[in-house]
Structure 1
């Protein structure tokens, strides 16, 4: 890599490769706990539009080279370029690409040298932890995917579908390795009820909530689950769901989720239940899980300090 190629690397990708995830986002600004010191409140800002950083704790900022100087404690640019190149992020920035480009990537299936591994990368584990997902639950169904695209290497969380493709996630993008399709998990014994989810993060959130009640089990073989992976797959889902006596829908509390629920109710003409009342006031199950987790943490802290709830 030359210095221009180095400067073109997104700062958030470099931080992700080193295991740092943003604590919040405000417009084009991502906020992190400083990579230079221990702190409880994020004071390190990355402007994703300008690809610049600033650490309010030390009053310094700049580009990726300036960041590397502090991270690697050197002013030797050649050395810094080698270090950044070796630690370069393996995360494909699909979210920054136009939707048409993403569709083109998925249609041509131009991912190469795909490796399906056990989920273990610290950056991905930290991402799941930020989403309050139980790691054992995630590892029971998800994989760590490494692949090449346009001559560069990337990685992310892979969630398998029934057609042999994967949904892809990391802190900075969402996409898929074609073919895109629904995901369906069946219990060891035939069930009359199926639980329906819009995306796999909501499915993992539900499984995490179940595991909190029963820590000894991930619950995967106790119930039938179907994940749309996109509300556009509702017709595909209807064919499989028609075999069940009833369907409980854990869809998003937004217009797309409500429309999918109404469409499925119309197509099946049977008992289709809206289970989103479980997380009224929240966009989806993951947002509800994160809120519940924070509430539980606060309660534990108060309990440990002898504060009556």
Structure 2
């Protein structure tokens, strides 16, 4: 699929596969609550005949690439194309002699945090198999501004005071980046790559020890420094090359104290994928 064909993807289908549905329809016009910002009254319009959109709240509109740019806050064409492809509506386009511009690091402004209560965020976690009684005590709701636009996400605190962020469309971090460690006085510690897997373990009731979320496999050296006193280190890491390398790094430092628990979900990419599979059985 080339860029021209990608541009012809119905915007309504693009939104639908991301779980975004219209509030009302009048002829060829669909009305939505803006999918990338919060609002009370739907002011986001999609003309299905012309395959264009317009957001009256910000006074902007355009084609599917313009819409992808609003979701990710970027004017980079390849990043926008990748976002469209990631939605599942199509494969990546074949680009000739394309050059990617350097992306500026996101600057988070006007940040405020409150208990997790937004229905869309809780709904997203519900889709990942996480019930509200697990999500609310462990996560927070974070609202912030990037490039002048207001966004919101599920927040998970790390030990340096940063916040891991996640919503249906975005995965990132309000710096600084760090591990998240919870000590409960146990001689064992369960290790997870990300907080969704940690929440999955809580949902499944398989944690009976201290726990540590890496928040990125690049934080494994930080984890090594705080795991010295544990007698048992149980790894619930992803079933991919990065997960295997991380397990081996821990095994090199702590030898037989490190236990690989990935056999529990051997046919799945990670613990959350296994949780969703179990809920379908």
- TM score, norm. by length of structure 2: 0.69
**Relative to structure 1, is the Cα distance of residues 236 and 33 closer, same or farther in structure 2, using a 3 angstrom cutoff?**
closer
Gaps of 5+ in 2: 1-10, 25-44, 61-66, 81-99
In the alignment, the residues of structure 2 paired with residue 198 and residue 99 of structure 1 have an alpha-carbon distance, to the nearest angstrom, of: 30
Of 48, 56, 75, the match for 1:81: 56
- Please identify which structure carries the higher helix content: 1
Q: Is the 8 A contact 2:109 2:146 kept in 1?
A: yes
Residues 231 and 33 of structure 1, relative CA distance in 2, 3 Å threshold = closer
Which residue number in structure 2 is paired with residue 156 of structure 1? 153
How far residue 268 of structure 1 moved from its aligned partner, in angstroms, is 2.2
RMSD (Å) for aligned C-alpha atoms: 3.3
Deviations 1:169-201 (A, max 9, x none): 1101111000000001122xx111100001111
| Runs of 4+, deviation exceeding 4 Å | 31-34, 52-55, 82-85, 94-100
In 1: Cα distance, 2:143 partner to 2:235 partner: 32
Question: For 2:191, which of 191, 196, 199 is the aligned residue?
Answer: 196
Query: What SS is found at the alignment partner of 1:163?
Result: coil
* Whole-angstrom CA distance in 2 between matches of 1:54 and 1:252: 42
- 2:242, 2:101 → 1: CA distance? 18
Q: Per-residue CA shift, 1:217-247, capped at 9, x if unaligned?
A: xx7xx52000000001001001111110110
| Aligned positions, number | 220
Post-superposition shift, 1:62? 2.0
Cα drift, residue 92 of structure 1: 5.8
What corresponds to 1:300 in structure 2?
A: none
Partner of residue 255, structure 1: 241
**Aligned mate of 1:113, from 110, 113, 120:** 110
| Structural mapping, 1:121-140, within 5 Å | 121-140=118-137
| CA distance in structure 2 between the partners assigned to 1:53 and 1:251 by the alignment | 41
Q: Secondary structure at the match of 1:273?
A: strand
- In structure 2, the CA distance between the partners of 1:93 and 1:271, relative to structure 1 (3 Å rule), is same
Cα displacement (A) at 1:34: 5.0
In 2: Cα distance, 1:99 partner to 1:252 partner: 31
TM-score by length of 1: 0.63
**C-alpha distance in 2, partners of 1:199/1:249?**
12
Q: 2:86: which partner in 1?
A: none
Give, in angstroms, the shift of residue 84 of structure 1: 8.0
1:1-309 mapped onto 2 (5 Å cutoff): 30=17, 32=19, 34-35=21-22, 62-65=51-54, 81-82=56-57, 93=72, 96=79, 101=103, 104-105=105-106, 110-187=107-184, 190-210=185-205, 223-295=209-281
Unaligned runs of 5+ in 1: 1-10, 16-21, 23-29, 38-51, 66-79, 212-218, 296-309
Cα distance in 1 between the residues matched to 2:236 and 2:47? 40
